[in-house]
Amino acid sequence: MAPTVGIIGSGLVGGSVARLAVEAGYSVVLSNSRGPESIAELVSELGPLARAATVDEAIEAGDIIALPVPLASFEALPADKLAGKVVLDQTNYYPEFWRNAELDAGKLTSSELVQRHLKDSLVVKGLHNLDWNHMYSNARPKGDTERTTLPIAGDDPAAKTAVTRFLEAVGYDVVDAGSLAESWRIEPETPIYFWPYAPAIPDGITGDEEKRFYLEHPVPPVSPEATRTMIDSAERPSPVGGTLAGMPPAHVAIFMDQASANTVNK
């Protein structure tokens, strides 16, 4: 029997994680800060393997807890409830939305910050470096020639194994980037972050046509070998953190179209 995935955050990214999980046969327990009733439509769409719950209920039910939430909200996560849980950290540091002096100074990575708060949890960085649309559409079964590769990082070998099995089941090969201290190699502004998983927009396409192209076109797969090369060749970004200016313009435009304030802050 497949493990249960608890998801804290039911916005664009959380919805994609849930869709991938239920299609791979996982039970999914979705939660957000607004309460189970706000997720009813999404749960109905996902089918019988999904249910809505409170955050505490999702944590209790989940074997893996996914965090598709803004990094700024990490201190609101219930560390006591998450003790002993494998936590899939999908957060990213974008200083234009929220700043942290320790991150800015490079004293620790964003996932180390999350792990410090969740001191008794088993944090694994992953499923954080591509957009919600291509997270779903890029997934392929094992053996498919178009199957792509994602990086992870973490300190606990068993937790990394659990996350690797989950990502492999939902449609991705996996490469281990090392410890949470090394997870800067897969953070924003590094070679493996976002751009390898986004379609290249042809010259001359703009506006709504550009957004349609971005949403509808597949992305060439990234091999495990190419993933390893990008991880190993990364140089620590300075300044630390991502920017909207460093993202594909079509993605930013689509995000602004689709992401309400509630979606962003779930």
Q: How far apart are CA 65 and CA 57, in angstroms?
A: 11
Could you read off the pLDDT of 127-184 as tens digits, one per residue? Answer: 999 999 999 999 999 999 999 999 999 999 999 999 999 999 999 999 999 999 999 9
Q: Which is the CATH superfamily of the domain at 4-264?
A: NAD(P)-binding Rossmann-like Domain (3.40.50.720)
Q: How many CB atoms lie within 10 A of CB 109?
A: 25
**Global pTM?**
0.95
Place of tokens 């979705």: 30
Could you read off the pLDDT of 230-265 as tens digits, one per residue? Answer: 999 999 999 999 999 999 999 999 988 886 544 443
Q: How many residues does the chain have?
A: 266
Q: How many CB atoms lie within 10 A of CB 173?
A: 18
